[in-house]
Amino acid sequence: MTDEATARQLEDAAALLVRDVLAEPGAWICSAGLARARELLWRVFERRPVAGPFLATAAADAAYVMWCCALACDQPTGAATRLRDHLRSTPDRQIPEPGYRQPPLRAVADWVAAVRSVPAPSPLDEAVFALSAVAAARGDDPAVLACLATARLRRYERDGAAADLDAAIEQLRRAAAGTTDDRLAVIALRRLAQCLIERHDAGGSAADAVEAASVLRTVWRRTERDRPAIGYQLANTLLACYQSRGEESDLDEANEILDLLVNDADPVTARIWGELGTARYLRYERRGDDADLDAAIDAYRTAVAVEPDDADIALANLGGVLVIRFEKRGDVADIEESVSVLRSMVERTAPDSPELPSRLTSLASSLQAWSLHTGADAALNEAVSVLQRAIEVSDTTSQKAIALHQLGHVLDDRYDFGGNLSDLDRARECYAQAVALAADDPLSRHLYLVSLGRAINKRYDLFGVESDSTAAVAALREAIALAPPGDPNKAGYLNGLARALFSRVRVRGSRKDLDQVIRYAAEAVAAAQVGDIYRGAYFNDLGMALLRRYRLDHVPQDLDLAVAAFRDAIGSPGAAGRGRPAPYSNLAGALQEKYEQENNISILTEAITYYRLACDTVAEGDPNIPLYQSNLGGALSTYALRTGRLESADEAVRLCRLAVDTIAPDDARAALLWANLAAAHAARAQLPGRSEAERSVDTSEAIRLWSAATEFVSCSAFQRMDIALEWAEFAEKLADSTKAAEVYAALARLVPQLVWRGLDQRRQEELLSGRQELVRDAAARCLADNQCDLAIELLEEGRSVLWTQRLEMQTDLDRLRAHHGDLADRLAHIRGRFDGW
């Protein structure tokens, strides 16, 4: 057969193929014979150059559409490459002018001109040029629009240009709406959903995720093919919707679809099992059902078992959720499995993998949890080393910021354990660097600001520098303002702000700040999700703030609200129990104050029950053990006086003695523990059934302990004054005027220490005006005991407190504050601590 005859046969065969391609443009997208069709069209084109008859130009046009689709998928063929090179080398005189009457050929000409204007375009750029030209020639041809959108999506994934993603979304909407081909419609809709989720993840609105879910629901209903993949994509999108707008119906629908897939799909892939684990965990966070937490762990374990060689994401999630369950239940097996799983994940990760930084960070988080709850110092030190490595290998700003933030947390915890101030300073530096790196990323920046604010506030608690408090509160307020709507962690941010303001209350005594503390703590409780493992801590902090306000104003409602908050703290999962005694102790303390208000013995009995729970659940080595023992002893002393039960008084003395013998003498709480032991001896001295000798021993020991407690400079003057008042009350019961005069003299000498030099004059005068009667009472007791000289001395000291301070101070802090405010504040705070404030 001659070449001409062969050419005619090829043209006849190609004519049928081209007619089908042009008549049903969506068919070739899914055709298994795409490569063969492209090769046949190339052979026609070789025999009939660009300027040839219509058949050849139509063949060239169809070949270009298919070739560009292949480029968009990064699969160019040899035939496509030859066709491209031929057209690009065709002399200009053989390329038809744009006004040429054949639209397909004009499109090819436009593409050639466009490509020639760009030096060495990449295949993706060529695909976008060519498909844009063909789309312009054909109008809204759905197949061409779908191909063009695919090319733009691939280029967006390469370059991150939002314009490409926006254009792809619009073109896919038009392609899906304009085609009658179900297969093309399904492809366009699934790709549209993918693009919408890409835009949502890049910082778009929740509306993108909602539209993507709606699109995929349509696909789910229209096709029976590839349902596991479509269902997985729909469930994934619904979870994105839930995390964007917080509607529980999205979460429920995602779980229902995944349940269908794990029951019906064959086989159930690791991706589906992993997504089920995520859906179950999110539902646990929402509802707090332990069954969902267990199901999440089981699903992640199954995902790892199904595809052990490709299970890195499932391993990371499994390791993280095991930490959550360990935090809640305290089962060491969970945290050990978590560390083991995450270590294996890191070991199997290549040193140059872009995933390595995030996997190192996950391992460090698990090591941190292990150390905090098991006392394994080596694990905390390993976490520091792991995060330093994560920072070194981070290729992106985002990865580095995340690793710095986590390193700050670990150093923060190491400071809490070891008390090394350099760890706290390094933690603050890490947080500040993370905040700076996230300048253009508000979704991460607010998290880093929360941590920075908390670290700065720790320094404020240590040194009382006013600028630290201002910076801490400002950082936390900015974090709350930047937090996205529906952020599940917002409760923690609000609680952090409440704690920072509470620190200011402890230093300044500001009622305005205290009211704000209660407001933000209440908002934190209201915002906390049922499964939030810190929900109990939020209730506890709210209770502490309400209790403080009650002590200022003595409004019974505040005390009732505090008791209710502490009860809610105990009732929250994981808040109280082994190793978590504080809520028990706090509730007991509030109940004890309620007993003093109502004089109801049943309330005191309940308080003793909770004090015992605090002692029974405290972890071995906890530095607060002496405090819990002493608190129980104090409550038992009160109970013994009320009921006359000597065995309760004996137990009180034993517990308080154990606490005093255990605590370090320079501990700030030592004076309170000595005072509790004094009160226990005093209570026992007043009970019937004791011999005079035994009563005398208890009385002498009580006086000795109270006297010593008022001399502890590590305790604040306010607390020492309260101790001295207890001592004075006991001395008056003894009807010993000499002893009473001695006690009141000690009490009067504490008054100058209340008005420490760091307070402004107005505040000093307020404090003095409320306590001048103590000086008068002390002078009266001295006169009653014929100690006239001591009475005059106390009256002189009492009326000249502020004047004496002025004489003693060589430098006016107000003048220093005008030039160096931070230095003045810090000097005032240090002076106050030396004064025992």
pLDDT of 54 above 70: no
- Model confidence band, residue 258 (pLDDT cutoffs 50, 70, 90): very high
Report the distance separating Cα 210 and Cα 206, nearest Å: 6
Question: Cα angle at 657 between 652 and 660, to 5 degrees?
Answer: 130
Which two three-digit tokens encode residue 797?
A: 């000291």
Q: Quick check: 159 and 132 in contact, CB under 8 A? A: no
pLDDT of 53 above 60: no
- pLDDT tens digit sequence for 89-111: 655 555 544 444 444 455 555 65
| DSSP character at residue 97 | P
Task: Determine the residue type at 156.
Answer: Y
Which whole-number Å values give the CA distances from 461 to 178, 343, 415, 503, in the listed order? 66, 37, 14, 6
Q: Quick check: 283 and 316 in contact, CB under 8 A? A: no
- Model confidence band, residue 510 (pLDDT cutoffs 50, 70, 90): confident
Q: Quick check: 446 and 474 in contact, CB under 8 A? A: no
Closest CA to 111 of 123, 124, 129, 128: 129
pLDDT of 771 above 80: no
pLDDT of 3 above 70: no
pLDDT at 35: 52
- pLDDT tens digit sequence for 812-836: 666 777 777 777 777 777 666 555 4
pLDDT at 89: 64
Q: Quick check: 169 and 192 in contact, CB under 8 A? A: yes
Least confident span in 120-124, 662-666, 670-674: 120-124
- pLDDT tens digit sequence for 312-368: 888 889 999 999 998 888 888 999 999 999 998 899 888 999 889 989 999 999 999
- pLDDT tens digit sequence for 305-322: 998 887 788 888 999 999
Report the chain's C-alpha Rg in angstroms. 38
Is pTM beyond 0.85? Reply is: no
- pLDDT tens digit sequence for 531-551: 677 889 999 999 999 999 998
- Model confidence band, residue 155 (pLDDT cutoffs 50, 70, 90): confident
pLDDT at 548: 93
- Model confidence band, residue 762 (pLDDT cutoffs 50, 70, 90): low
pLDDT of 638 above 80: yes
Give all strands (DSSP E) within 86-181, no chain letters. none
Query: Which residues are 577's β-sheet partners?
Result: 580
Instruction: For residue 706, give the H/E element and its range.
Output: helix 692-709
Mean pLDDT for the stretch of residues 164-171: 93
Q: Quick check: 55 and 43 in contact, CB under 8 A? A: no
pLDDT at 625: 92
pLDDT at 133: 72
- Most confident range, picked from 664-673, 731-740, 782-791, 802-811: 664-673
More confident residue, 750 or 520: 520
Mean pLDDT of the chain: 80
Q: Quick check: 457 and 472 in contact, CB under 8 A? A: yes
Which two three-digit tokens encode residue 414?
A: 């190491």
- Model confidence band, residue 785 (pLDDT cutoffs 50, 70, 90): low
- Model confidence band, residue 570 (pLDDT cutoffs 50, 70, 90): very high
- pLDDT tens digit sequence for 113-132: 666 666 666 777 777 877 77
Which two three-digit tokens encode residue 17?
A: 């193929």
- pLDDT tens digit sequence for 259-282: 999 988 778 888 999 999 999 999
pLDDT of 566 above 70: yes
pLDDT at 575: 74
**What are 699-705's contacts with CB under 8 Å, separation 24+?**
699/734, 702/678, 702/730, 703/678, 703/727, 703/730, 703/731, 703/739, 704/678, 705/674, 705/675, 705/677, 705/678, 705/681
Q: Quick check: 514 and 546 in contact, CB under 8 A? A: no
pLDDT at 246: 82
Please, which residues have CB within 8 angstroms of residue 132's CB and are 6 or more apart in sequence? 111, 114, 148
Mean pLDDT for the stretch of residues 634-645: 94
pLDDT of 52 above 60: no
More confident residue, 44 or 455: 455
Query: Which residues are 138's β-sheet partners?
Result: none
| DSSP character at residue 637 | H
Least confident span in 34-38, 154-158, 631-635: 34-38
Mean pLDDT for the stretch of residues 184-189: 85
Surface-to-core class of residue 266, CB atoms within 10 Å of its CB (0-12 exposed, 13-18 middle, 19+ buried):
exposed
Q: Quick check: 142 and 178 in contact, CB under 8 A? A: yes
pLDDT at 423: 93
Which two three-digit tokens encode residue 562?
A: 């505090």
